[in-house]
Amino acid sequence: MEAGVLGSSHFRARTDNKAQDRDDHFIFRTKDTTLWFDADGKGGDGPVLVADLQAGATVTAKDIFLV
């Protein structure tokens, strides 16, 4: 992943926090508005909780900026 706004291929919003392919590094779990990071993008090492957001919050790839 490059610095700047996160590319949409590295983001997934779903009801669980399971990566679907090797590019899914940031997963927004919609059922409880939590944001997760999966280092290998495929669930092998398991996701790590990044943020627990307020009820009703939404996150897209454009909301994540990498430095």
Note the pLDDT tens digit of each residue in 19-47. Answer: 888 888 999 999 999 999 998 887 777 89
Domain coverage including residue 54: 4-66
Q: What is the pLDDT of residue 41?
A: 80
Q: How many structural domains does the chain have? A: 1
Q: What is the pLDDT of residue 29?
A: 95
pTM assigned to the model: 0.88
- Choose the weakest-confidence range: 8-12, 21-25, 47-51: 21-25
Q: Which letter, b or e, does each residue of 6-32 get, where b requires 16 or more Cβ atoms within 10 Å of its Cβ? A: beeebbbeeeebbbeeeebbbbbbeee
Task: Say if residue 6's pLDDT is above 90.
Answer: yes
